[in-house]
Amino acid sequence: MPKPPLLLGSQADFDATVAYNQALWANCRPTSPVFDYADTLSTVYDLDAIRRALGESRLTFHGSSYGTLLGAQYAERFPYRVRAVVLEGVFDHSLDVPSFVRSQAATLQDSFDEFVAWCDRSTDCVLHGTDVRAIWADVLARADRGEYAPSTAFDIAALPLGMLNVPKWTDFAQMIKGLNGGVAPAPRVLPVATAVFCADWPVRVRDYDEYAALVRLASAAAPDVRYGAGLIAVQTCLGWPTPVRNPPHKLRVTGNARLLLLNALHDPRTGYEWATNVAEQLGKHGRLLTYEGWGHGSYQRTPCTIGAVDRYLVDLVLPEAGARCPAA
């Protein structure tokens, strides 16, 4: 069965994707007994089993990106077993699918805006002195016409997902210059959601019209970059049975657990909005440290972020409320 396109364009594409996904899952289940039990909440119990096996009375844990769901839900389920939990690049599990798609697209747009601002002010950018947005828009228009085959228009539009993660601003500018000159990039294999995401977020998208509404929602939130990682996850989970094992909900942590959250102000994948939402849900049980820079993952960015996290993990000393680390 051929793999459907990453961006669906019709009801036929939608139906083919559902059939492809379900056939793939049917092939995975006999070879992986944990396939239907890979949700984050199930993994929480595995994590506690590891703690017990190590003979530790309390858990010290550092989770990054999707791993922050594991740390947060561990604290929710086993608050009195928490010693220290760091959530770096914070996922917000309280979001429904439209909010998830919109906010991931918006945070990628924010990172693209930061890249454009850097190009405008820095001579290190090979596009300095040009209209970067207009050049990028022309590249996307050429991609729509198939000029970068075998890379599709979705492949080209997804390039910021990888290039703004670190971020690789200099390399991204070079790539756009090459694309503007007609150089097609090598096709990329994009990371996609697995059984974990599909069991954590119900993708109740019944037909192509509802899928297309999500595409429009993402495009409106991210006019320069069109989409975001959320649409890739949604497509991967079309046809997954509902209800899911670990449905979205707001965190409810009790006891004495105190978690440290760390997020970049301009993160292209886990937006700052998610971190502030989760910090609000945690209340007195959470403390947000803001890195005033860019990229996905902030721990090793500066001595300030490293020092704050290490002091918490080693000595259980949280930064002051509202603490911020300057951009590198």
Residues 119 and 198 reside in one and the same domain:
yes
- From 186, 209, 237, give the residue that closes a domain: 237
For the domain that residue 264 is a member of, what is the CATH number?
Answer: 3.40.50.1820
In a domain, residue 183? The reply is yes
Q: 82-88 and 59-64: which strand pairing?
A: parallel
Q: Which domain, by its residues, includes 139? A: 97-237
Same-domain pairing of 262 and 221: no
Distance between CA 248 and CA 175 in Å, rounded?
38
328 residues of the chain, pLDDT tens digit each: 788 888 999 999 999 999 999 998 888 888 878 888 889 999 999 999 999 999 999 999 999 999 999 999 999 999 999 999 999 999 999 999 999 999 999 999 999 999 999 999 999 999 999 999 999 999 999 999 999 998 889 889 999 998 999 999 999 999 999 999 999 887 655 444 556 889 999 999 999 999 999 999 999 999 999 988 888 889 999 999 889 999 999 999 999 999 999 999 999 999 999 999 999 999 999 999 999 999 999 999 999 999 999 999 999 999 999 999 999 8
Residues 89 and 143 in one domain: no
48 CB burial (10 A radius; 0-12, 13-18, 19+): middle
Same structural domain, 259 and 303: yes
End-to-end alpha carbon distance in the chain: 48
Q: Do 105 and 173 share a domain, yes or no?
A: yes
Instruction: Answer whether residue 71 is part of any domain.
Output: yes
Indicate if 186 and 259 belong to the same structural domain: no
Does residue 261 form part of some domain? yes
In a domain, 8, yes or no: no
142 within domain boundaries? yes
> Are 165 and 185 in a shared domain?
yes
271 and 207 in a common domain: no
Q: Choose one of 237, 267, 287: the last residue of a domain.
A: 237
**Packed helices 11-28 and 229-237: angle between N→C axes, nearest 10 degrees:** 70
pLDDT digit string, tens, across residues 128-175: 999 999 999 999 999 999 999 988 898 899 999 989 999 999 999 999
pLDDT of res. 192: 44
The answer to whether residue 27 sits within a structural domain is: no
pLDDT of residue 175: 96
Tens of pLDDT, residue by residue over 45-94, are 999 999 999 999 999 999 999 999 999 999 999 999 999 999 999 999 99
Q: Is residue 283 part of a domain?
A: yes
Q: Write down the pLDDT at residue 27.
A: 86
Domain tally, the chain: 2
Q: Residues of the chain with pLDDT > 70: what percent? A: 97
Residue 24 lies in a domain: no
Query: Cα(31)–Cα(206) distance, rounded to whole angstroms?
Result: 29
Task: Write b or e for each residue in 261-288: b if 16 or more Cβ atoms lie within 10 A of its Cβ, otherwise e.
Answer: bbbbbbbbbbbbbbbbbbbebbeebbbb
- From 212, 237, 262, the end of a domain falls on 237
Q: What is the pLDDT of residue 217?
A: 97
- Closest to 180 measured CA to CA, from 223, 140, 145, 152: 140
One domain, residues 73 and 158 = no
Q: Are residues 108 and 200 in the same domain?
A: yes
Both 284 and 271 in one domain: the answer is yes
- Domain match, 89 and 137 both: no
Choose among 215, 150, 219, 218: nearest CA to 188: 150
